[in-house]
Amino acid sequence: KQEVTQIPAALSVPEGENLVLNCSFTDSAIYNLQWFRQDPGKGLTSLLLIQSSQREQTSGRLNASLDKSSGRSTLYIAASQPGDSATYLCAAYGGSQGNLIFGKGTKLSVKP
Amino acid sequence: EAQVTQNPRYLITVTGKKLTVTCSQNMNHEYMSWYRQDPGLGLRQIYYSMNVEVTDKGDVPEGYKVSRKEKRNFPLILESPSPNQTSLYFCASSLTGSGNTIYFGEGSWLTVV
């Protein structure tokens, strides 16, 4: 059964720093991997979707990579800003289409 | 505007009183899903639907029912709510079940006393 793990659970950095969030998954037979952002008390917003045939995706200051062979994905945030403070979650599909498994998230705090 | 709309957003109810949380999307998506989010346990999938009249259990389906009679709606039914179903619930949709961006509703805070 697919398991998704995110390390660290929380991260605090000063503004302007580049940072990397990690996501690992146990079953490499994934359709895709998605990164989401969640603000306190709010729903999730999709940030990046990497298809299984892709190695990375970029959107603005965000870059996500996917290495299926090692079961890992990373989310790189360049030049972090206080507005980036949120919880970041990754998700991969489980054994069947539609069964989406989430990591527990990394809570990011960017200090001015 | 693309939206996933859940109602109610906040609800306090009593043990055993049947309730329904509605979910509607305006994007003509085939795939819809329900999750619950609990501290320390993260987001867990309850049920999902790949299309009309097609539903499947997620990881924590016990105590819940769903139906998908029309494409835009996917209600979550708690036939006899219990306190351990107190949680934050999210509905989500995407074009298909595996290859597309997923859109989430704003969440429904449910407390069962």
> Is B100 within 8 Å of A93 when comparing Cβ atoms?
no
Mean pLDDT of A35-59: 92
Percent of chain A with pLDDT over 70: 98
Percent of residues, chain B, with pLDDT higher than 90: 90
**B105–A98 C-beta distance less than 8 A:** no
B101/A34 touch (CB, cutoff 8 Å), yes or no: yes
Residue A100 to residue B107, Cβ atoms within 8 A: no
Q: Give one DSSP letter per residue of A13-41, joined into a string.
A: EETT--EEEEEEES----SEEEEEEE-TT
Give the minimum alpha-carbon distance from A100 to chain B in angstroms, rounded to a whole number: 7
pLDDT of B109 higher than 70: yes
Q: What does the buried/exposed string (b/e) look like for A52-76 if buried means 16 or more CB atoms within 10 Å of the residue's CB?
A: beeeebeeeebbbbbebeebbbbbe
Closest chain A residue to the Cα of B105, Cα to Cα: A43
